[in-house]
Structure 1
Amino acid sequence: MGAGRRVTAHAVLRLPDLVRAPDGPATAVTLAEPTPETIRPCELTEKVLAYDPRADRALLDDAYALAMQAHGAQRRDNGDPYITHPIAVADILAGYRLDTGSIITGLLHDVIEDTPVTLAQIEQRFGPDVAGLVDGVTKLTRLELQSDRTKQAENFRKLVLALSKDIRVLLVKLADRLHNMRTLHFVTDQGRRQRIARETMEIYAPLAGRIGMDAIKGELQSLSFAQLEPEAFDTIQARLNFLRGQGADIIEEVRQELMRVCRAAGVSEIEVLGREKSPYSIWEKMQHRNVAYEQLSDIMAFRVLVPTRDDCYMALGAVHSSFPVIAGRFKDYISTPKANGYQSIHTGVTLREPRNQKIEVQIRTFAMHDVAENGVAAHWLYKDHDATVAADLQRFRWVQDLLEILENSQAADEFLENTKLELYHDQVFCFTPKGELIQLPRGATSVDFAYAVHSQVGDTCVGAKINGRLMPLRYELQNGDQVEIMTARGGTPSPQWERFVVTGKARARIRRFVAQQQRTINREQGRAVLAKAFRQEGLDGSERALDPALKTLKCLTIDDLYVAVASGHIGPKDVVHAAYPEMRETARAPRMLPGMGLPARPAGGRVSTKFDGGPTGAPIRGIISGMVVSYAGCCHPLPGDPIVGIVATGRGVTIHTRDCAQLQSFAATPERFLDVEWDETLSPQARGGQAYAGRVSLIASNERDLLPNISNAVTKHDGSVLNLRVVSRQQDFCEILLDVEVRDLRHLSTVIAGLRATGGITQVERAKG
């Protein structure tokens, strides 16, 4: 239900408010005036029976009555009866001519969550099919953008699983969100309005587009855009209003001209619709292309609808022979349809003098237009329900991709991130050597292509030929490229691939491999550490001896225990004591020397101490004396960086920079965070001359004297090279990771400046990770 629980419901409450055109549902954003009236059960039933005479009238009336009774005296924020919301959702679904089960689900989609009605009662009255749909939608009703990102991501997992079983779950959810967005302006809390609008823009609008429901997608985007960017929305809307006033006659004149030239070319049955681009689409294109409003060529667009596919190409020839064509604006989505089934020819032309105005012309058949506007819903009635669900899920390959991302993602928030990558992109069309069409996001690489073919092909990919030429794996694919992936038996993904892949499927698979690889390393390290700990105590450290300790240490398996020890979550002594409790009782307390003890805390609550993290220890405020401190290899903190400490049992404190990406993995255990900072009151000399490792990434020409030049530049600025690794080497350039010994952040900045001034080095920046 989302925003629907707390917003008023005035739109689409009466039949005149939502008038469906013959080829699709109403899409107007304008809201009706507040009214207490609702659609009566007979009106909703008659609306369904008008397009589906087989609908069960008694079942529809029963669902209406149950919804009225269940929601009873519940009210929305403005005092309207809550029942207005599910009725409006059912009416939207009826506007799309959906089946009886979907309409009933729309009426009952909130009863399980908000009323005493149970799922068993719904199944008893309406059958397992409806109960399954209601249950699926119920699991989705709390997908709000909350501060607890993990909770949102876990709920999004449920959405993907539900829609993968029955696409109607998503149709009901989209109708629910559409009505909530139409009434969102009644919410008084601006922050909450923006959170709901952002979620709609990031999740629901792309999902609507992926199943071809462009009418709902466009309205959701426009309503969200008005909340997220009100100034930009008002400015663009004002320009559109001015355009309407200045060119009130242009649309009709162009319509008549297009119809005339097409009929002259032999296309007799034709309809031309004029439209203007939505405010959000205009703003998005201005941002993407970095152009001004006046430079856009498709503010005005015209749709030419004809009976057959052949007529589409006849109309295209007529338009191109009658108007100057805009170069680079032609796209044929009839011969290569989009992933959601969209088919149309797009072209850009310039009107004749004196107008000289650029317009976009879209040419499609009437059936293609219905699919373009209504997607899945356009053909729901014309197929058997089971066949429809199976066919649609097979046609929408992205659903299977999301399920594979779900399987490969290690964490819920990672799944949400990768899913957004999968939902947001323009298309690029490439081909396998056998001619199979593969659709990818713009900016996709050969690695993305390999994973799109098959996960195993991606895992074992070692190279790629683009149009017969061997090209780097990071090469960005272009429309029409033929891609041949070369694989090797036993090949594995490279962690470096994550830096340039753009599809969520590829990123999830690479991250899964890296995580599994790291787990293997941690398992062996943990095994070795425990073996040493038990050997020092003269005890048996076999897996048989460790097994009874698993429950005490809250580990499911022996491997989990080894990993926890290697990562520092469990100390070796804790394992010894859990396996042999008597050792805890006989363990001697540490011998205290005279004068030892914890230092007194100053008024500020911090302690300035030295620690055992280096030759003399770097001064860090907030660390208790005697604690072992180490520096995180993921972010390489330096004096001068804002820092935070992470406490690990048996390993002391690890220092990270505050912007380190790895801190997200500790979000569930905030008690491990330690507020620390560098003690800047001491000079570098007072610190005992301790040095730190700063990591630098550089790109340079692949020349013979490159390495000596790098070493000389670092030495010249009082630094020294600790480690150097060539990440990528091409014929003309190479990418290098360089660990430099420096005193602090300022010293590192000096070294970076020296490297930038060195001949042959084109790019230098501080690197983390």
Structure 2
Amino acid sequence: MLTIESLADSLSEYLPHDQIAKVKRAYYYAEQAHDGQRRKSGEPYVTHPLAVSDILANIRMDCDGLAAALLHDVIEDTGIPREALSDQFGEQVALLVDGVSKLTHLEFNDQLEKQAHNFQKMAMAMADDIRVIMVKLADRLHNMRTLDAMPAHKKRRIAKETLDIYAPIANRLGMYNVRLALESLAFQAYYPMRANMLERAINKKYGQRQKAMEKLETYLQSELRSEYFEVEVSIREKHLYSIYKKMEKKRRSLEEIMDVVGVRIVTDKHDTCYRILGVIHTLFKPIEGRFKDYIAVPKSNGYQSLHTTVMGTNGLPMEVQIRTNEMDTVANNGIAAHWSYKASGQSIAANHDRATKWVKSLIEIQEKARNPMEFVDNVKSDLFPDEVYVFTPKGKIIELPSGATAVDFAYGVHTEVGNSCISCRVNRRLAPLSTQLESGQTVEIITAKTAQPNVAWLSFAITGKARTNIRHYLKGKQRENAISIGYRLLTRSLNAFKTTIEELTDEQINLVLKHYEIETFDDLLESIGKGRYVGYVVARELFPNYDEEELVTPKSFKVNGSEGMLISYAKCCSPIPGDPIVGFVQVEKGIVIHHEQCPNIQDHLQSPERFIRMTWGKEIEEELNVSLIVSYVNQRGAVADIAASISDTDFQVSDLKIIERGRISRLRLNVTISSRVGLADVMRRVKAVRCVDKVSRETVVSR
């Protein structure tokens, strides 16, 4: 049974006497504070913080971290104030306990929102002191070990949260042993039937492997030591959850998962790792394309090792990992290794810096996220990384998750580079920003001062930093556009009252702001631009006593295609420059432009205050889609001839679809154009194709 004395004995291996005394004092303080409290299992409550401290002692947590672990529930469960802990144990311990206490669950109606909010709080606490999350991970690990005392529905909820949040964080911080334990316990609790069936299947298929594994271990140890290498060889079976995830992700049966056994070789020096690799490739045939050098290019969580997959003596693939003692410590404990070896080598210090850098990136994402759900959505890719490593033109390595694109790379270099990128070169060849990157590529980002993020980037950007910055920029740009459009709409409405915005008095503005319960005039203009309030109605509020008979018909609203995201074109009628158009003010969408004859707006004409007379500006900067219906004689090569008729022009075919087959067939051709003149040219070219019988524009009037 674990006691404070047995904990103190294990601490004596690495802590001085005075620090052990402080840890013991924290235990007795917690014991008194939790007096009378019991866990669901019936044990005295203090056994929980004691067990949490023991978990942290195994990874050699420092004195303050251990004291905080013993006291982590005192503020939350006993009512003892933070100041009392500061007086007794110092400000560092009090800050840590307070940080862990702030991670207490809040009550939310929605479970996902609750989970997101808690993860957001966890990130904030990590930013203050990384030890906060280490205490929380140890707390969760002990709770998982004693989960049987909980009711079934709570077991599943806690297990799911562990798989979704806590295990990925442990992985991101490089704490392999903690992650492994969390995943195994959570898998058993959340999928008990699957876990038991898989375990039985593995035992049935590979149960007789133990002797073969021992024989292989002895053979490798002997061969390597005969080459005068100082090594420790261990052979293990992959843990249950990783086999399950591989089966699920790759949609394979257990029979198809061949590398169930892994060999780990730990040695003394970097260069010895590469020499051992040569011996392994001499003893066993390496499998092509299955070698990874994480020593030269470490994973984002600091993990370093050589990985190679070879064909074993039994004809099955076998993964071999080769690393130094220091790398093994980092691989098992991740950031916790920083406390294990205070005077340690560069890789352990670098791992701590890497984790701190990741936490700081979380803070940047959190500051720009609108809510906890968006925050969690943006960091998911950072929590589940399958890394690719790409190079800048100067040779700097940028780590990105698998599936990352050139846009993610641009934001990985710097936020301003991301915000101003227009294209890229991958291995010196021009490529679109949506290009998915592969390890080893050299990527150069091409920027322009006038460039700005595009909403379409969100469909292929996957890193939290990229998505957060794109959304943040677009949110600011949308407000800017909304204020500009709101200004134009209100100006247009005020023309009817023979006045302008500049002529409004402070008293008028304050009265209308009070009426709409809005703080600033810019906020009012933004609301008008986004369609929340109608310009004419706001103008009426500004001049409540104005004689209706004196109103002047407001001027039409000119559109030139450069207004931004709050002027859009209805897909139902696809208006193009030159068409008679009308604008419908729609909440949160701004102005949606329709063809004047569009039947979809006829029903809304009963609320004319939301309609605006629109005209096209002289210079249209935007290209728009228009659909053509082409009737043609169905003969060999007809569709290719129709498409070729406009392939040598500046017009772009965005879609081509056959909608009716027969002797006379019909197809829908979507073309991007900028004017009615361009449309006439396209229709003339298509009509000139010999097999074409008729070309007409598909409009809502004909639907």
User: Is the counterpart of residue 176 in structure 1 residue 139 in structure 2?
Assistant: yes
Deviation of the 1:401 alpha carbon:
2.3
Per-residue CA deviations over 1:408-453 (Å, capped at 9, x if unaligned) read 3233211110011221120111111111111111111111111111
Structure 2 residue aligned with 1:259: 221
Instruction: Indicate conservation of the 8 Å contact 1:526/1:566, yes or no.
Output: yes
Instruction: Note the 1:84-123 alignment, pairs <5 A.
Output: 84-123=47-86
Task: Determine which of 124, 131, 134 is the counterpart of 2:94.
Answer: 131
Instruction: Indicate conservation of the 8 Å contact 1:350/1:356, yes or no.
Output: yes
Instruction: Indicate conservation of the 8 Å contact 1:202/1:420, yes or no.
Output: no
User: Is the counterpart of residue 382 in structure 1 residue 375 in structure 2?
Assistant: no
**What is the CA–CA distance in structure 2 between the aligned matches of 1:257 and 1:500, rounded to whole Å?**
49
Structure 2 residue aligned with 1:686: none
Change (3 A) 1:120 1:571: farther
Change (3 A) 1:390 1:67: farther
Structure 1 residue aligned with 2:253: 292
User: Is the counterpart of residue 373 in structure 1 residue 332 in structure 2?
Assistant: yes
Q: Structure 1 unaligned runs (5+)?
A: 1-13, 16-38, 589-613, 615-627, 637-649, 654-692, 727-738, 748-769
Change (3 A) 1:208 1:718: same
The RMSD of aligned alpha carbons is 3.9
Task: Determine which of 279, 295, 302 is the counterpart of 2:240.
Answer: 279
SS of 1:491's equivalent? coil
Instruction: Indicate conservation of the 8 Å contact 1:167/1:393, yes or no.
Output: no
User: Is the counterpart of residue 213 in structure 1 residue 175 in structure 2?
Assistant: yes
Change (3 A) 1:556 1:205: farther
Q: Which moved more, 1:58-67 or 1:271-280?
A: 58-67
Task: Determine which of 252, 277, 287 is the counterpart of 1:326.
Answer: 287
TM-score (norm 1): 0.69
Instruction: Indicate conservation of the 8 Å contact 1:211/1:396, yes or no.
Output: no
Counterpart amino acid of 2:482?
A: N
Instruction: Note the 1:529-540 alignment, pairs <5 A.
Output: 529-531=489-491
**What is the CA–CA distance in structure 2 between the aligned matches of 1:302 and 1:651, rounded to whole Å?**
75
Structure 2 residue aligned with 1:760: none
Change (3 A) 1:200 1:544: farther
**What is the CA–CA distance in structure 2 between the aligned matches of 1:528 and 1:410, rounded to whole Å?**
28
Instruction: Indicate conservation of the 8 Å contact 2:532/2:587, yes or no.
Output: no
User: Is the counterpart of residue 201 in structure 1 residue 160 in structure 2?
Assistant: no
Structure 2 residue aligned with 1:487: 447
**What is the CA–CA distance in structure 2 between the aligned matches of 1:348 and 1:51, rounded to whole Å?**
38
Structure 2 residue aligned with 1:508: 468
Per-residue CA deviations over 1:249-292 (Å, capped at 9, x if unaligned) read 0110110111122123331x211111111111112122233332
Instruction: Indicate conservation of the 8 Å contact 1:571/1:651, yes or no.
Output: no
Instruction: Note the 1:376-415 alignment, pairs <5 A.
Output: 376-383=335-342, 392-393=352-353, 396-415=356-375
Counterpart amino acid of 2:485?
A: Q
**What is the CA–CA distance in structure 2 between the aligned matches of 1:711 and 1:299, rounded to whole Å?**
49
Instruction: Indicate conservation of the 8 Å contact 1:273/1:302, yes or no.
Output: yes
Structure 2 residue aligned with 1:464: 424
User: Is the counterpart of residue 59 in structure 1 residue 59 in structure 2?
Assistant: no
User: Is the counterpart of residue 46 in structure 1 residue 9 in structure 2?
Assistant: yes
Change (3 A) 1:69 1:694: farther
Per-residue CA deviations over 1:97-140 (Å, capped at 9, x if unaligned) read 10111111111112222221111211121111111111111111
Change (3 A) 1:334 1:131: same
**What is the CA–CA distance in structure 2 between the aligned matches of 1:254 and 1:336, rounded to whole Å?**
30
Instruction: Note the 1:578-617 alignment, pairs <5 A.
Output: none
Counterpart amino acid of 1:484?
A: E
**What is the CA–CA distance in structure 1 between the aligned matches of 2:269 and 2:217, rounded to whole Å?**
20
Structure 1 residue aligned with 2:619: none
User: Is the counterpart of residue 234 in structure 1 residue 193 in structure 2?
Assistant: no
Number of residue pairs the alignment of both structures matches: 595
Deviation of the 1:565 alpha carbon:
3.6
Deviation of the 1:517 alpha carbon:
1.8
Change (3 A) 1:115 1:466: same
Structure 2 residue aligned with 1:360: 319
Task: Determine which of 139, 142, 151 is the counterpart of 1:188.
Answer: 151
Task: Determine which of 120, 123, 133 is the counterpart of 1:160.
Answer: 123
SS of 1:325's equivalent? strand
**What is the CA–CA distance in structure 2 between the aligned matches of 1:542 and 1:714, rounded to whole Å?**
60
**What is the CA–CA distance in structure 2 between the aligned matches of 1:349 and 1:333, rounded to whole Å?**
17
Structure 1 residue aligned with 2:561: none
Q: Structure 2 unaligned runs (5+)?
A: 549-569, 571-583, 593-606, 611-624, 629-638, 675-696
**What is the CA–CA distance in structure 2 between the aligned matches of 1:506 and 1:482, rounded to whole Å?**
19
Instruction: Indicate conservation of the 8 Å contact 1:720/1:741, yes or no.
Output: no
Q: Which moved more, 1:521-530 or 1:566-575?
A: 566-575
Instruction: Indicate conservation of the 8 Å contact 1:340/1:396, yes or no.
Output: no
Change (3 A) 1:694 1:248: farther
Counterpart amino acid of 1:401?
A: S
**What is the CA–CA distance in structure 2 between the aligned matches of 1:221 and 1:251, rounded to whole Å?**
25
**What is the CA–CA distance in structure 2 between the aligned matches of 1:331 and 1:128, rounded to whole Å?**
45
Q: Which moved more, 1:180-189 or 1:205-214?
A: 180-189
**What is the CA–CA distance in structure 2 between the aligned matches of 1:562 and 1:709, rounded to whole Å?**
36
**What is the CA–CA distance in structure 1 between the aligned matches of 2:22 and 2:653, rounded to whole Å?**
82
Deviation of the 1:499 alpha carbon:
1.2
Counterpart amino acid of 2:39?
A: R
Deviation of the 1:709 alpha carbon:
10
Q: Which has the larger radius of gyration?
A: 2
Change (3 A) 1:222 1:452: same
Counterpart amino acid of 1:160?
A: A
Counterpart amino acid of 1:263?
A: R
Deviation of the 1:367 alpha carbon:
1.5
Deviation of the 1:576 alpha carbon:
6.9
Deviation of the 1:556 alpha carbon:
4.0
SS of 1:101's equivalent? helix
Deviation of the 1:633 alpha carbon:
7.0
Change (3 A) 1:48 1:709: closer
Structure 2 residue aligned with 1:679: none
Change (3 A) 1:504 1:554: same
SS of 2:288's equivalent? coil
Deviation of the 1:502 alpha carbon:
1.6
Structure 1 residue aligned with 2:521: 558
SS of 1:254's equivalent? helix
Change (3 A) 1:570 1:221: farther
**What is the CA–CA distance in structure 2 between the aligned matches of 1:489 and 1:414, rounded to whole Å?**
29
Counterpart amino acid of 2:326?
A: A
Deviation of the 1:544 alpha carbon:
6.6
Per-residue CA deviations over 1:189-243 (Å, capped at 9, x if unaligned) read 32x3222222221211111111110111112122222233333322221123234
Deviation of the 1:334 alpha carbon:
1.0
Counterpart amino acid of 1:405?
A: I
TM-score (norm 2): 0.75
**What is the CA–CA distance in structure 2 between the aligned matches of 1:283 and 1:345, rounded to whole Å?**
24
**What is the CA–CA distance in structure 2 between the aligned matches of 1:52 and 1:574, rounded to whole Å?**
74
Deviation of the 1:456 alpha carbon:
0.9
Task: Determine which of 343, 349, 356 is the counterpart of 2:310.
Answer: 349
